C-alpha cells in the first residue's frame, strides 16, 4: 500500500519510543509542509517525508551508515511503499553515510528542514517566551555562534538556499511552522 499521512502517524510510535525523537519528527513534518507550500510542492508528500525521515533512528543511532537506509526495510516489513522521490529525499538526508546525493529541492529541503528544528528548539528553550515572538534575525545570530547548538549542521541548513529560499526567509517559515504546534511540542 502507498504511504499516507495517516499510515505514517500510525507506524511512527511503533519504531520511535523516545519522546524527543517523536517531537523532532513532528517538527520536521510541519516544517516540510510549510516548505512545500512555499515551493508549490506536494504538501502531504513533503510532510510525510519530514515525519518518517528518522523512523529507523532508534535502531541505527549507533550505526550511522545504516540510518535512513533501514527505513526501507521497516516499510517493506509493514508492506508500505514510498514514491521514489520521497525515498531518495529520506536517504539523502544522511548523504554523508548513505552516499545518496542530494539533488532536488525535496532532498535539500528535507536535510535543511529537519536540521533547523534542532536550532529553533534549542533557542526556544533559552527564551523566556520560548517560540512566541521568535524572529529570524535573532535565530540567525544563534546560527552564526558555532558553540550554540553545536551538533546542528550549519552546512545542511544552508542547503536550503539551493532551493531558491534565502536563509532568513527559511528561518521565518520554520519558526512559524513550529509555533503552530508549540503546545504539542512542549512550549
Residue 50 inside a domain? The answer is yes
Confirm whether 54 is domain-assigned: yes
Task: With respect to residue 32, please indicate whether it lies within any of the assigned structural domains.
Answer: yes
Q: Enter the C-alpha cell of residue 66.
A: 545504516
Q: Is 185 part of any domain?
A: no
For residue 186, is it within any domain?
Answer: no
> pLDDT tens for residues 138-174?
999 999 999 999 999 999 999 999 999 999 999 999 9
pLDDT digits (tens, 9 = 90+) for 11-70: 999 999 999 999 999 999 999 999 999 999 999 999 999 999 999 999 998 998 999 999
Burial of residue 150 (number of CB atoms within 10 Å: 0-12, 13-18, 19+): exposed
90, 53 Cβ separation under 8 angstroms = yes
- Tell me phi and psi for residue 80, to 5 degrees: -115, 135
pLDDT confidence band for 177 (50 / 70 / 90): very high
What's the chain's average pLDDT?
Answer: 96
Q: Does an H or E element contain 161, and which?
A: none
Domain span holding position 49: 5-179
> Is residue 184 in a domain?
no
In a domain, 102, yes or no: yes
Gyration radius from the chain CA atoms: 15
Q: Residue 62 maps to which CATH number?
A: 1.10.3210
41 in a domain, yes or no? yes
Residues 6+ apart with CB under 8 A from 134: 120, 123, 124, 127, 175, 179
- Mapping DSSP to helix (H, G, I), strand (E, B) and coil, where does residue 39 land? coil
pLDDT digit string, tens, across residues 64-122 = 899 999 999 999 999 999 999 999 999 999 999 999 999 999 999 999 999 999 999 99
Domain count, the chain: 1
Amino acid at each position: 500500500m502507498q504511504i499516507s499521512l495517516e499510515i505514517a502517524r500510525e507506524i511512527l510510535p511503533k519504531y520511535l519510543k523516545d519522546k524527543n525523537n517523536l517531537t523532532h519528527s513532528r517538527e520536521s513534518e510541519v516544517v516540510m509542509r510549510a516548505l512545500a507550500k512555499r515551493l508549490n510542492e506536494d504538501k502531504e508528500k513533503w510532510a510525510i517525508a519530514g515525519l518518517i525521515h528518522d523512523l529507523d533512528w532508534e535502531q541505527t543511532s549507533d550505526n550511522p551508515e545504516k540510518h535512513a537506509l533501514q527505513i526501507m526495510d521497516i516499510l517493506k516489513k509493514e508492506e508500505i511503499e514510498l514514491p521514489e522521490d520521497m525515498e531518495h529525499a529520506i536517504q539523502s538526508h544522511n548523504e554523508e553515510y548513505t552516499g545518496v546525493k542530494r539533488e532536488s529541492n525535496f532532498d535539500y529541503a528535507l536535510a535543511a528542514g529537519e536540521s533547523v528544528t534542532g536550532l529553533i528548539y534549542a533557542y526556544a528553550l533559552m527564551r523566556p517566551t520560548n517560540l512566541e515572538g521568535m524572529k529570524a534575525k535573532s535565530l540567525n545570530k544563534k546560527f552564526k555562534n558555532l558553540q550554540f547548538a553545536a551538533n546542528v549542521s550549519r552546512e545542511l541548513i544552508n542547503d536550503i538556499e539551493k532551493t531558491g529560499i534565502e536563509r532568513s526567509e527559511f528561518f521565518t517559515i520554520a519558526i512559524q511552522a513550529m509555533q503552530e504546534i508549540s503546545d504539542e511540542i512542549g512550549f
